Structure 1
Amino acid sequence: MQKYQPANSFETPRFCGPRTFMRLPYKPTLQDVDFIVAGIPFDTGGSFRIGTRFGPGAIRNTSILLRPYNPNLEVNIFDYLSGVDYGDIAVIPGYIEDSYEKIQKAIEPVIAAGVVPVFMGGDHSITLPELRAIAKVKGKVALVHFDSHSDTWDAYFGKPYNHGTPFRRALEEGLLDPDHSIQVGLRGPLYNPDDWQTARNLGLEVVTARQVRELGLAETARRIKERVGTQQVFISFDIDFLDPAYAPGTGTPEIGGFTTWEAQYLLHHALTGLNYAGFDLVEVLPAHDHSEITAFAAAGMIYEFISLMALNKKANNEIPVK
């Protein structure tokens, strides 16, 4: 069996070689891999600032500083996992429904191979074709959604597909199991008082940013875990879940958000041991990201998710990959 792991930075400096996530091999293969990291550089669904098509490249650039041992989770990722940078999924700029078809078609073989996909956006509209691909192969899944926005509007500018509507469409299409799905961190001004209630009416549990503060991180994490249970779960992390002080480079920033440490805490305590169907991190906009603050945060969140996959294998007493 071929094992894929990052280049050794004691042997070659981090600034050498092509930019891939965490210096993983660039190899569009599904053989002998547990997970792939893939970019989806699409931002036609954006409603305010655009440029998140350059998000995957920015995340790759900062990810070269990541190291294989996660001291907080006490796991060496590549003792248990084999993974590659799968490259970017081709899209058609300006044509959202055509791009959806291309994205779904590219993802379906990944899911069918039993490989866990980790996607880098792109705006949040890309999550809909991701979920379509997963549901076509595996059926509906639970959702854990970290975001300052619910993304459950019916339409934006009269159009049904954009970064404000993916989860409403996903629920309407039967891609998600609402009884085991939860949105966390919602905040910011709304168009009307029913915006968050719309998500609840669709069957989602909603924990706003204010409620997270009142409940505390530990109780919030417990609620997430309890909500998902044993269901297969897709985790979608919008970088604007973080406060703009920690993630200024995003399309629709909202004040009153979370620190990177708080986000790490929630990932560690809420997602440990779940049955992962996949993960995406979206809305990184490099043009507004001074000092690469947002890209570093995004790379770190993806790293934590990959670490959680390794922790699952370690907890199951699986023999380390040789």
Structure 2
Amino acid sequence: MLDLKNFDQNAVSNPENNVFGLPSTEENADLIVISVPWEVTVSYGSGTAKAPEAICRASLQVDLYDPQFPDAWKRGFYLTPTDKQLQLKSAYLRREAELYIDYISRGEELKANQFMCKSIREVNEGGEYLNDWVYQQAKTHLKNKKLVGLLGGDHSTPFGLYKALAEQHDEYGILQIDAHCDLKKAYEGFKYSHASIMYNALNEIPQIKTITQVGVRDMSQDEWEFIQNSNGRVIPYFDQDIKERQFGGDTFREIAAEIINSLPQKVHISFDIDGLDPKLCPNTGTPVPGGFELDRMFYLFHEILKSGRKVIGFDLVEVGVGDTEWNANVGARALFKLCNALITSN
């Protein structure tokens, strides 16, 4: 077990240490955060594959004292090193995907171009490779009695973690904070697209009882119809509806209580950073006007724990890397709160 009795949390962070300046290792930390530098199918902006390293650097500026969870860090958080092979594979397949997206967006016939047929096949094979890579990583850590979170990368990255958690829990729900539904079937022809993560989760992992979506403000008609026909497995709290209720006098406290009541006893938190106001994440892959302040989400996490529900995992995804440290700074603070909530809940 990690012994941090003599660790000075008020000292300057040592850049040789792990995330948040903690002298944690994979063996002695209670919580393992898997770095997944992958963004093959992003359909607008890029840069999320570099997020784990950028967030780790920014995390050295995060103070360890959290009044809501003052001692959680003492159990140790460990962020796995960036897998350079995975990062290179992502970069290669990203270029393939870009060429393919450009080709089909011009209305060209896929079957008429053997190179493009090869590209879509390689990208889809890459998605399967990623899912298995994450699954094997998560399964190993869970078997070793670790708590597991994930730091992407784009929103396709946590599928393998969802699968591994499903082997540990008979059923659980996902709290999805997101500007998008991510319920598109094989978006742009990519089976494991970032825009298809929740569609795939519901169709391939029966242990996922429900997905409560909070902050959605951009969706297709197909996704709306999917929600309507989901038999209650998708529970939406659209950004506009939340805002209109607040304009009418409802408090966020009341709305948060409803959101939490929609969740089952066991909850995985999927935090797509674009669920926030874009001023907090200007370089996220697909920014959308609207969204939340970060403190609203922190309040929601705390209320989940107060309700007696158990957080079993988390993923933080779609943090872009731009010309400043702002995106990584916000991402680091979101990661810290997620780590604290998961540790405290277990």
Please indicate, yes or no, whether the TM-score normalized by the shorter chain is above 0.5: yes
In structure 2, which of residues 257, 272, 287 is the aligned counterpart of residue 253 of structure 1?
A: 287
How far, CA to CA, are the matches of 2:257 and 2:72 in structure 1?
25
Q: Secondary structure at the match of 1:84?
A: strand
Match of 1:82 among 76, 79, 90: 76
Q: Deviations over 1:227-262 (max 9, x none)?
A: 2242x2211000000111111020000001111222
- Go from structure 1 to structure 2 and tell me whether the alpha carbon gap of 1:197 and 1:222 turns closer, same or farther (over 3 Å shift): farther
TM-superposed deviation, 1:105: 1.0
**Cα distance, 1:271 vs structure 2:** 4.6
Matched residue, 1:37: 33
Contact 2:2 2:24 in 1 (8 A): no
TM-score by length of 1: 0.84
CA contact (8 A) 2:201 2:208 kept: no
Match of 1:198 among 215, 220, 226: 226
Aligned to 1:103: 134
Opposite residue 17 of structure 1, the aligned amino acid is P
Q: Secondary structure, in 3 states, of the residue corresponding to 1:186?
A: coil
Name structure 1 gaps, 5 residues minimum: 314-322
Look up the match of 1:320: none
Written as runs of structure 1 = structure 2, the 5 A alignment for 1:1-322 is 1-3=1-3, 8=8, 10-11=10-11, 13-14=12-13, 16-18=14-16, 20-25=18-23, 27-29=25-27, 32-71=28-67, 73=68, 75-79=70-74, 81-88=75-82, 91=86, 92-93=89-90, 94=93, 95-178=126-209, 180-188=210-218, 190-192=219-221, 194-202=222-230, 203-213=233-243, 214=245, 215-230=250-265, 232-272=266-306, 273-287=308-322, 290-312=323-345
Cα deviation code 1:191-221 (max 9, x no counterpart): 43x4234234232111001222215321232
Q: Counterparts of 1:240 and 1:6 in 2: how far apart (Å)?
A: 38
Q: Is the 8 A contact 2:24 2:77 kept in 1?
A: no
2:183, 2:197 within 8 Å by CA — same for their partners in 1?
A: yes
How does the TM-score come out when normalised to structure 2? 0.79
Aligned identity (percent) is 26
Q: Could you tell me how far apart the structure 2 residues matched to 1:19 and 1:55 are?
A: 18
Q: Partners of 1:309 and 1:5 in 2: how far apart?
A: 21
Q: Write the deviation string for residues 65-93 of structure 1: whole angstroms up to 9, x where unpaired.
A: 2222212x1522235x2332333456342
Count of aligned residue pairs for this structure pair: 301
Which of the pair is proportionally richer in helix?
Answer: 2
SS of the aligned residue for 1:181 comes to strand
Instruction: Give per-residue Cα distances to partners, 1:119-164, cap 9 Å, x unaligned.
Output: 1100000121111122134344211100010101112112221100
4+ aligned runs moved over 4 Å, structure 1: 4-7
- Paired with 1:258 and 1:19, the residues of 2 have a C-alpha distance of 32
Check the 8 A contact 1:5/1:82 in 2, yes or no: no
Q: After TM superposition, give the deviation of residue 4 of structure 1 in Å.
A: 5.9
Q: CA offset at residue 5 of structure 1?
A: 8.7
Structure showing greater Rg: 2
Task: Name stretches of at least 5 consecutive residues in structure 2 with no aligned partner.
Answer: 94-125
* Equivalent AA in structure 2 for residue 252 of structure 1: T
